[in-house]
Structures are given as structure tokens and as C-alpha cells.
Amino acid sequence: MKDTVKKNWMIYGANGYTGALIAEAAAGSSMRRPVLAGRNASQIQALASRLDCEARVFDLSSDSDVIAKQIEDCAVVLHCAGPFAFTAKPMAEACMKAKTAYCDITGEIGVFQSLHEMDANARHAGVLLLPGVGFDVVPTDCVARTVYEQMPAAVSLRLAFAGLSHISAGTMRSALLGLADDSVVRKDGRLTSIPYFSRTAQIDLTDRTETYHAIPWGDVFTAFVSTGIPNIEVFTTVPSSQRLLLGALMPLRSLLGRSRARSFFGALGKMLSPLVKGPDETVRRTARARIEGLGMDGRGHTLCLRLETQEGYAFTVESALAAVRRILDGRLEKGHETGFQTPSLAFGSNFVFEVGLTRWL
């Protein structure tokens, strides 16, 4: 993927919570300074001026040829503008036209699925599509791949994580949009809908055993691509206050129907966005996240791997920039340079250890 002509790389959505953190880290590193882009002219220009970066302002509702023109001199676009359910596809389509590698920080199953459907076209264009290079889904994906490498006959995989207690406005908006659909697991190779909070597990991933709930995390899609394991579930802790709030909102989906519920939850997320700030610097620096992968083969033998790493947003900053560096340098696993890829396939299952403070437990 190394391109001798294209020297630039871009962060689109650089004015968002996570995009700005990545932009600040990139500008303070030895990397070539990124082009900072988004649709909010005043915010993008102010950030670019402060970080001494080039600014570009354009909207993803534009024609794909117009978007492609904005990114054609960039070797990589790191897409950080959510909700990705609305923004990922137009940017990925423009990247294929511009012959520019695409990566993002989504964790939405539907987005992974949509981009996976573009795999053949991306391969034909010689373009990499690599969604999920943040906390969603690098650590869980690398754990899943490692479980598979150590137990290739696994028929089920249970992933769990703890420590993502603070979320940004963008994550909140994506989560609310997801309420218009069911929760999802993978059963016998197929994505299968289940009611929210209907599946639980008792897991001692932290200092005590807690009730974890199955959630529609991106690995339900991506771990199958990375491993071929046919039965996959992802669990995390959900505070009772959040369960009560979400439970109160669920009847609206039945009342409104999914299409109107999606519009309603989208509007609600936009309205609540100013109230959600994301974790502060102290939390990002001091908090830790833990991930578990539990594989089981057809004879009932199990393999459990546990990983500790940085707080989710701090992890995303480092892992996203590590992914960009690898793409710019052409350091991808053989046979995984183009088309739809997962982090562990593109960079290997040890990629997670390129993020500081990551260790096996």
C-alpha cells in the first residue's frame, strides 16, 4: 500500500472528541502532519491553525466524485466522523475512486457488514478497507485471532470486556441509533437477532464476579471474518441505570416502527450530544480496560485468554495512529493488502501490543 506519490494522509471528523485527540497526538508525533477535515468550517480551521496542519472542509453528502477530489492526494483517510451508519459508506466509496486506503474507528455491526459487501470492488480497485482500528475492535479482534491460532478447532467464542465506563457524544449517538434494531449474536455462522439484555453471563474479569450482558459489538461480525468460528457472542457490563433507561426507550421502537424509531433515536442523540463530554485526561491516563476471549471446541475443551490495556479512548488514539503508520509504510500481512480486512488479518494478532501498556494477564 505504500504510495510514492501520495504523501498526505487525512483525519476526517478531526473536530469530534476522538478525532481531535488523534489529531493532537499525530501533530505531536514524528509522523507527517495530517490534513484535518470535516464539515464544520470554523471548528476544523481553528483546530488546524492550532496544530499547524492543513484544513479542508467538505460534507459527505456531496457527490462521491467531489469527495474523491478532496482526498485524491492522500494515501490514507482515517475516518472519525460518526454516526458511521451514515458516513462510512460515502467515504469508503470515495476512497475507492481516489485509490486511497480507508480506515475508521467504528464498532457498528451494520457498518462492518456494509463495508464487507464492498470487498470485491475494493480488491479490484486495489484499495484497503480497514474499519475498526480503535478500541472497537482492535483488542477484541486480536484476542479472538489469538484464541483461533491456539485453538483452530474452536466452534464457539465468547468475548467480554470491562472498563469502558465513559463514552463520547459520537459513541452515544451511535448507541442510540442501534436501539432501532435488536441486539445481535452469531449462531452457526449467521448473524442472529436477540432482545437487548436477554443473554447474560457471570464473569470475573475485574476484581469481582459480575453480570455481563450480550451486546451488538462489532466483533460479532469481524471475529467471524478473522477466525471463521461460527458461534460468537460479545459481553460487557451495563450499569442498571443504563438498562432501566434503555428499557424505557425500547417500547418506542414497537410503537414507531423501526424506520421512524431510527429517526427518533437519531434526533435524541443529536439533542443530547452537548451534554456528553467523554472521559477527561485523568481518566484516559489512569483507567484500564480488560478483555477476555473464551474459546471452546467440539469436545468441550476450553481456552481462556485475558488482556489488559489502556482506557478505551486512549487506546483508540494509539491504535489508530499505529494502523495509519503501518499502512503508510506498507507493513501489512501478505495477502491482506487490499479489500476488506480486520486489524488482526491486516497486521497480525500481535498488533494490539503496539499500543502501550498492553499485556496478557
- Convert the pLDDT of each residue in 259-270 to its tens digit: 787 788 778 878
Decide: 129 and 119 in contact? Cβ < 8 Å: yes
Tens of pLDDT, residues 160-173: 999 876 778 777 77
Please say if the pLDDT value at position 223 is more than 70.
yes
Q: Return left, alpha or beta for 132; rule: phi > 0 is left, psi -120 to 50 is alpha, else beta.
A: left
CA 143 to chain centre: 15
Question: What 3-state DSSP class applies to 61?
Answer: coil
Domain boundaries, the chain: 8-134+314-354, 138-312
The three cell numbers of residue 83 are 454516526
CATH for 8-134+314-354, among 3.30.1240.10, 3.40.50.720, 3.40.640.10, 3.30.160.620?
3.40.50.720
**Residue labelled with grid coordinates 434494531:** 181
Decide: 86 and 108 in contact? Cβ < 8 Å: no
Tens of pLDDT, residues 87-102: 999 999 999 999 999 9
Please say if the pLDDT value at position 2 is more than 60.
no
Give the CATH class of 138-312. alpha beta
- Span 181-204, average pLDDT: 94
Distance CA 205, CA 230 (A): 24
Tell if the pTM clears 0.75, that is, is over it.
yes
Decide: 11 and 37 in contact? Cβ < 8 Å: yes
**Mean pLDDT score of the chain:** 93
CA-based torsion, 107, 354, 11, 281: positive or negative: positive
Distance CA 50, CA 145 (A): 40
What pLDDT does residue 19 have? Answer: 98
Distance CA 322, CA 328 (A): 10
